[in-house]
Structure 1
Amino acid sequence: MSKVMTYGGHFRAISVLGLPLIGGHLAQFAIGLTDTVMLGWYGVEALAAVTLASSYFFVLFLFGAGFGLAVMPMVATAAAEEDETSIRRTTRMGLWLSLIYAAVMMPMLWWSYPIFLALKQDPQVAETASQYLRVAGWGLIPALLVMVLKSYLAALERTQIVLWITVAAAVVNAITNYALIFGNWGAPELGVMGAAIASVVTQIVSLVCVVIYAMRVLPEHSLFQRFWRPDWEMFLSVLRLGVPIGLTTLSEVSLFAMSAIMMGWLGQVPLAAHGIALNLASATFMVHLGLSNAATIRAGNALGRKDRPHLERGAIAVTGMSLVISVLTVILFLAYAEPLISLFMEPDDPQRPEILMIGTGLLAMAALFQLVDGAQVIALGLLRGLQDAKVPMVMAALSYWGVGITSSYYFGFVLGMDGIGVWLGLVLGLACAAVMLMARFWMRSVREVGVPAE
């Protein structure tokens, strides 16, 4: 057996694996950012509606993405064990589960209008958001399949192709948005509906690209050969890991979705400011998420080899890298809040001063939660690599819902702190999750990974 890898070796390995994943997440984020920027130019009401609709869509998407996220550690562990049959079985059943889930969720996207009204949203915003989802909702099917296949490729450390496919999708989205939202290049001016069509086109292009790559470059896995044949044993294995991962992700995303709903209660302008601040915070979160994915893959490999020293040193290295990114982000958000927010608005927008005022305060809160947000997602990545998902699911639910949403409502509406209070609740929920999940990894999960004999 080789000697334990040095911290420098871990930093290099995580960087090689993680940088393309970070780039891929940023490119994926750019797709949503493009929608936000262009719709912000189009009008505040359009931006508010798509902010609401996107929050709703991603609640459903990210729960279903649990199956794709489950594929990542399972394939990484199988790869470390050189078990190519399990790689194929895991990925194929991840695709099955994603298709089934998407079919079940489509009615929730098609009939979203009464749900928005029940959540006390502005009727006009709710109507526009529901119209957007009737088109954009069809993108759920290819989006979930892409999630599974990207996880499969990333677990095999083919992260460069994940990056380039996502970059290509972001370019397609930007071009289609520019044409269909504003009616450029002879296309019809469709506004919000143009953004919805662009979203679906983008997901389909991503799916076609990733399927072609998997079939041509990794034919030995035969992912789509006799695809219709069930494999109930592996189906249940992916289901058992995917559901708690999906629920964990759902509880976190629901925290942010609920914050959007609360901001909607305050009016269109606070909701638009929230959308801008959340997009900026999400951009930096993509860096932590890429590092978290790298942590999942390397922890999964360590589990397959039963190599605890490798796991521990890798965990310390990736946590340190996340901490450095958090500190840099805090400085950026506090020093350049107004220029960053201004990127999302036309200079002559009459509501610009009010959005700037609210958004600057929200961005200060976003700076506050950078440290804990990074720590909690790194802890989740490490735990998923060890296929430890059920207890972290409970911890996450308690943190995000029990602490986060409750605190957001209390500070925002009971104490009358409005948007700042809502975001203070986010900080407390994320901090609670960070402490509990890190404690879970270091005090229990890491100790269950043995060290192989020399």
Structure 2
Amino acid sequence: MADEQTSWWTRTCGGRDVLRVALPLVISTGFFSLMLFVDRLFLFWHSKQAMAAAMPAGMLHWTMVCFPIGVATYANTFVAQYHGAQRPERIGATIGQAAWLGVLVTPLFLLAIPLAPWLFHAAGEEPIVRHYEIVYFRILTLGSGAAVISGAVSTFFTGRGETRIVMLTDVSATLINAVLDYALIFGKFGLP
């Protein structure tokens, strides 16, 4: 029994290899959750209405971007296939097509910005919450195309099993986001 467990852990593509690839992605997801928590915490400290607006605006935004991000990050499968088949010349085209999806959907995302007042008015929130929902949704939407492109580019690393690079990028982004949240939400460092 002990030999079976050891061989499962140490064999090629065994538990150790899976953990080596998966753990950085788990940490990345954890830092993404931490980023959302810090965003909401700072908004709560700023105003309860801003905090109340963050969830519906964020959910509507995620509803809009989740499909394009999912399609773009599906390139991960093809990158892994080409990497495993020793066909690296195919990887760039795959990532390029996924990134082009981000470019192509960006105008559609931007069209949602002027529709935000209508969308949130239909929800019937109190005026101050609706104002914050619109502002937060518009800010999120401005970065939507970049989020799709970022997901596409990350597949270059994740598809080849180099998930630590993605983890370090996500950890850095979370730390930068926390500083920028503080500066922009509370008007620090000379920012409005």
Shorter-chain TM-score tier: 0.7 to 0.9
The 8 Å contact of residues 72 and 101 in structure 2, kept in 1 or not, is answered as: no
The 8 Å contact of residues 91 and 152 in structure 1, kept in 2 or not, is answered as: yes
Aligned residue in 1 for 2:161? 157
Aligned residue in 2 for 1:130? 134
TM-score scaled by length of structure 1: 0.39
Letter in 1 for 2:178: A
Question: Would you say how many aligned residue pairs link Structure 1 and Structure 2?
Answer: 184
The 8 Å contact of residues 101 and 148 in structure 2, kept in 1 or not, is answered as: no
**Alignment partners' CA distance in 1, 2:33 and 2:155:** 17
**Alignment partners' CA distance in 1, 2:88 and 2:114:** 39
**Alignment partners' CA distance in 1, 2:22 and 2:113:** 33
The 8 Å contact of residues 113 and 138 in structure 2, kept in 1 or not, is answered as: yes
The 8 Å contact of residues 102 and 146 in structure 2, kept in 1 or not, is answered as: no
Q: Within 5 A, what are the aligned runs for 1:330-345?
A: none
Aligned residue in 2 for 1:200? none
Percentage identity across aligned positions?
A: 23
Offset of residue 142 of structure 1: 1.4
Q: Return structure 1 stretches of 4+ with deviation > 6 angstroms.
A: none
Deviations 1:341-369 (A, max 9, x none): xxxxxxxxxxxxxxxxxxxxxxxxxxxxx
Please tell me whether residue 40 in structure 1 is matched to residue 41 in structure 2.
no
Offset of residue 39 of structure 1: 0.7
Please tell me whether residue 173 in structure 1 is matched to residue 177 in structure 2.
yes
The 8 Å contact of residues 91 and 149 in structure 1, kept in 2 or not, is answered as: yes
**Alignment partners' CA distance in 2, 1:112 and 1:183:** 25
Offset of residue 170 of structure 1: 0.8
**Alignment partners' CA distance in 2, 1:149 and 1:17:** 17
Please tell me whether residue 147 in structure 1 is matched to residue 151 in structure 2.
yes
The 8 Å contact of residues 110 and 130 in structure 1, kept in 2 or not, is answered as: no
Aligned residue in 1 for 2:3? none
Radius of gyration: which is bigger?
1
Equivalent residue of 1:89, what SS?
helix
Q: Within 5 A, what are the aligned runs for 1:174-253?
A: 174-188=178-192
Unaligned 5+ residue runs, structure 1? Answer: 189-454
Higher relative contact order, chain-length normalized (CA < 8 Å, sep 6+): 2
Letter in 1 for 2:35: I
Offset of residue 69 of structure 1: 2.1
TM-score scaled by length of structure 2: 0.87
The 8 Å contact of residues 180 and 187 in structure 1, kept in 2 or not, is answered as: yes
**Alignment partners' CA distance in 2, 1:26 and 1:187:** 29
The 8 Å contact of residues 57 and 109 in structure 1, kept in 2 or not, is answered as: no
Please tell me whether residue 49 in structure 1 is matched to residue 50 in structure 2.
no
Aligned residue in 1 for 2:80? 76
The 1:59–1:109 alpha-carbon spacing in structure 2 relative to 1, beyond 3 Å, is farther
